[in-house]
Amino acid sequence: MNRSILHCSGLIPVLLLLFLSSCGNKSMDLARELSSSYTHDGKTITAEGRLATDLMIWGTGQTLDMNLEMQAALDNSKRERITDIVLPYGTGKNSVKIDVPDTARHFEAKDVLIYDKNGEKITTSDKVRITGTVTYTAKGPKKKSNDHVMITVPKPRKEEGDGNDYSYKISNVTIEKL
């Protein structure tokens, strides 16, 4: 009987490790892949998280770029972000609008109105699933811009990544509240 207890007690840590390793967040893995390879170019992707209002970028006046933020279920300090999710500006299905007066200089998360695939209002605190098409906008090596001032840094840092530009846009987006 002591042997079976020892055998079971050795099995429990192995099962726990397998369980924890299977709790990976596929959306977080996708966010890392989008910013490090061209695997998803031209493909439809699906990810879950919360649409974020920080780092919003105005598009052509007809669109607004948002971000999808997600965090690990077991470790709240691990976060990832999928950027440049292009949404139509307005109040239709799968769109976003900032509801402030024309004279306003700032807005808060409560001012951002997001409409899901059914045209229902959702908030930035709602968990959503987005589906959209990925298009890389500048494949190849990162281009050096002459539009910025160079500052000499005493200790040169090693550049992260492989030197390629993984800028992308996600278009034709569908938003589903979970």
What does the alpha-carbon distance between residue 51 and residue 63 come to, in Å, rounded to a whole number?
15
**Side chain identity at residue 143, one-letter code:** K
In 59-127 the beta strands, taken as DSSP E runs, fall at: 63-71, 79-88, 95-98, 112-115, 121-122
Q: Residue 162 corresponds to which tokens in the numbers above?
A: 């492989």
What are phi and psi for residue 139, nearest 5 degrees?
Answer: -65, 145
Query: Mean of the per-residue pLDDT values for the chain?
Result: 78
pLDDT value of residue 156: 43
Rg (CA), the chain: 21
**Mean pLDDT of all residues in 62-82:** 82
- ∠ CA 23-27-31, rounded to 5°: 125
Q: Which of 41-50, 65-74, 99-108, 136-145 has the highest mean pLDDT?
A: 41-50
**Mean pLDDT of all residues in 131-142:** 87
What does the alpha-carbon distance between residue 2 and residue 167 come to, in Å, rounded to a whole number?
59
Q: Which of 9-18, 20-29, 98-107, 110-119 has the highest mean pLDDT?
A: 110-119
pLDDT value of residue 30: 94
Would you say residue 176 has pLDDT above 80?
A: yes
pTM over 0.85: no
